Amino acid sequence: MDKIRIMVASQPRLMRDVVLEVISGQPDIEVVAEVQDERKIVDLVGEMRPDWLVIANDEPQKRPSICDPLFDRYPHLKILTLASKNNDCIFYWATMSIRSSRVESSEKGILDALRGRGRASDILFDRGHSRKTVN
């Protein structure tokens, strides 16, 4: 069984130490990186490919701004945010939704859909076999 790969980037240091203590000794969890400089999070996620990122969130009522660029690049990533002020913990993850739209059965309809005109513009086809929605 593969271990769950965790990157811990919580500030302040005490919070990071508490998180590391909680997950240390867990046989199915591996800490792949501990980030002290939060400006390096995006690059290190790309390098280390963790399953989870644990970060501090000073404003638990708002999603941290780093979530969106991370989910754009690494949609598999799960983010756990911790707020020490009110003892709050929130789990963020990205999902893919697949949508469809009728396309006019004509040369114009097909070309319009491929060019992103009309309702079909919210569908992006990957080079592989999967589809992902662009919002």
Q: In angstroms, what CA-CA distances link 86 with 7, 28, 59, 89, 122?
A: 23, 29, 10, 9, 39
Question: Per DSSP, which regions of 1-135 are E strands?
Answer: 4-8, 29-34, 52-56, 78-83, 88-93, 123-125, 131-133
8 A C-beta contact, residue 33 and residue 50: yes
d(CA 41, CA 47): 10
Give the percent of the chain with pLDDT over 70. 83
Q: Check residue 120 and give its pLDDT.
A: 41
Average pLDDT for the chain: 80
Q: Check residue 47 and give its pLDDT.
A: 95
Element (H, E) at 114: helix 107-114
Q: Is the pTM of this model over 0.85?
A: no
Q: Check residue 118 and give its pLDDT.
A: 61
8 A C-beta contact, residue 4 and residue 29: yes
Q: pLDDT tens, 11-21?
A: 777 888 888 88
CA-wise closest residue to 102 among 91, 110, 94, 93: 110
Of 37-51, 66-80, 89-103, which gets the smallest average pLDDT? 89-103
Q: pLDDT tens, 26-72?
A: 999 999 999 988 889 999 999 999 999 999 888 878 889 999 999 99
Q: Domains for the chain: give ranges and CATH numbers.
A: 4-93 (3.40.50.2300), 97-135 (no CATH)
